[in-house]
Amino acid sequence: MKLKNFWLFSAVALIGLMLTWCKTNAPELSFEETLKVYSEQTSMLKDVLAFMNDTWSQIENKLDVETKYDAWDSIKWALSLKTDIVSDNESKDTEAKISLSLTSDADIQEGFFVKSAKVDLNTLVKDFKLYFKLLDFSVESNQQEYVAMISEIVNGFKNKWLTIDSEEYSNLLKISSEKNFDMFAYLDDKDNDKIFSEKELTKYDWYPAWKVSFNEEEIKKITKELYEEEKKESESYSWDIEADEEFNAMLDDLKIENSEAYFVIRSSDKVDFILKNLDIITAWQKINVTDTINKKTIWKDSETIVITITDVEESSSVVEITIDINPGLTSCGFNVKVVANNGEEIEELFNIEWNISASLSEKTLRLNPDFTLTSDSLSADVELGFESNKIENYKFDTPEDAQDLNEIIWSLLWWEDYLDDEDYVYDFDEEWEDVEDEDIEDEEIEEETGDVE
């Protein structure tokens, strides 16, 4: 037994010596080399963003969401959402199948309460024109007589293509389909070395590391440039002058203090960024951010990020957000806890336990982020499946028999028949003139007799 313990102790000691040797022999890269390794190293987040932003012509996204939750009044609800969306990045055409259902276990007789509902429909955007077709619609309510009347009207549109033939709506679809400003690409083109100051080569947890602080003026400058670039991309929208003034005032008041951050060189192709402390101060709030690496095993670390938001005028009003990150080989776990403290009592606003598993290939991305949310008034379990596939040769067919929804609505209005009847003419101006003449006559009578009718 003693011999067995000796060999076990020796093996542990040997592993410890090997780990120490590996740590102390990490390369001491220059700061520019360290940033280059950090920006170029692979990560699941970067790979997913690259996949989604690819200029591939056609892509199909499938989303399946199943949610069960208990509301504040102890009613149990179940929500199901299924979508299948095909889009063409070149033509901007998009076709979607959407199915939504909601059920509850309650039997409420007072007021208006929906016990269950289901909607299935198809939508199509072709040449910046919107088409849609209702496949199924049903509602179960405690006021079924009112629901029956609405359902009778809605069911008249089932399995028929409708469209909104409006130039304003088409222009809106064109604007929304334009490629948005890519903040990440913009930052990649910047000289990010300038946002860091007081660079010092040191050690962090036995590894060589660059200790840095943040250049407040440079961050303000880049933030201003990002804001202006976003305005250029949004020329089609009216930009509020007051928003400009508020943004500039916020930027002037912004202060970045007590920053301590490290680029830790693990190896020649692995660099971690660790934010030990950062204070962001505005005219209204002080935001403190800390990032702690928690040693778990020799294979992986966990990470805890704490964001504390304090009201500047009422320092006793504090909101604390704690984010625990537990990475794995093919999945990552998140736990988000939000607590509010008003100086008298501490209240846990909500807690989210989130686990994400992912797989990525050249033409397929799969994500399964399942999470549980709890609060004082609500608890929810969400199972979510997302799959994205790059495809080819999908054909978007224009419905030839689509009816204009505006024309249908106008035909349902009772007074439309009168306006279309040439024998019936109603002169609003003539009536207004008669009313004005009556008022004038009344005023003349009042001046002559002093009486008011």
Q: Write the DSSP string, 349-384.
A: EEEEEEEEEEEE-SSEEEEEEEEEEE-SS-EEEEEE
The better pLDDT of the pair 5, 74 is held by 74
Looking at residue 7, its pLDDT comes to 43
* Whether residue 205 has pLDDT greater than 70: yes
Sign of CA dihedral 127, 130, 131, 132: positive
- Highest-confidence range of 53-62, 88-97, 107-116, 237-246, by mean pLDDT? 88-97
Dist CA 441 CA 221 (whole Å): 70
pLDDT bucket at 155, cuts 50 / 70 / 90: confident
Mean pLDDT of 156-171: 80
- Give, as one character, the DSSP assignment of residue 158: B
For 213-265, write each residue's pLDDT tens digit: 888 888 888 888 888 877 776 654 555 677 788 888 888 888 988 888 999 99
* Whether residue 385 has pLDDT greater than 70: yes
What H or E segment, with its residue span, contains residue 216? helix 216-233
Strand partners, 288: 279, 308
Q: Residue 261: which region, alpha, beta or left (left: phi > 0; alpha: psi -120 to 50)? A: beta
Looking at residue 234, its pLDDT comes to 62
Q: Are 298 and 19 in contact (CB under 8 A)?
A: yes
* Whether residue 412 has pLDDT greater than 80: no
Q: Are 210 and 34 in contact (CB under 8 A)?
A: yes
Dist CA 211 CA 200 (whole Å): 5
* Whether residue 329 has pLDDT greater than 90: no
* Whether residue 416 has pLDDT greater than 80: no
* Whether residue 203 has pLDDT greater than 80: yes
What H or E segment, with its residue span, contains residue 115? strand 114-126
Mean pLDDT of 287-312: 79
Share of the chain above pLDDT 90, in %: 20
Q: How many residues does the chain have?
A: 453
Does the pTM surpass 0.85? The reply is: no
* Whether residue 30 has pLDDT greater than 80: yes
| Buried/exposed 128-155: b ≥16 CB within 10 Å, e otherwise | bbbbbbbeebebebbeeeebeeeeeeee
pLDDT bucket at 10, cuts 50 / 70 / 90: very low
96's tokens: 């979607």
Q: Are 360 and 51 in contact (CB under 8 A)?
A: yes
* Whether residue 380 has pLDDT greater than 70: yes
End-to-end CA, the chain? 119
The better pLDDT of the pair 431, 300 is held by 300
* Whether residue 202 has pLDDT greater than 90: yes
For 143-154, write each residue's pLDDT tens digit: 888 888 888 888
Supply the mean pLDDT for the chain.
77
The alpha carbon of residue 332 and the mean position of all alpha carbons in its chain are separated, in whole angstroms, by: 19
Looking at residue 64, its pLDDT comes to 95
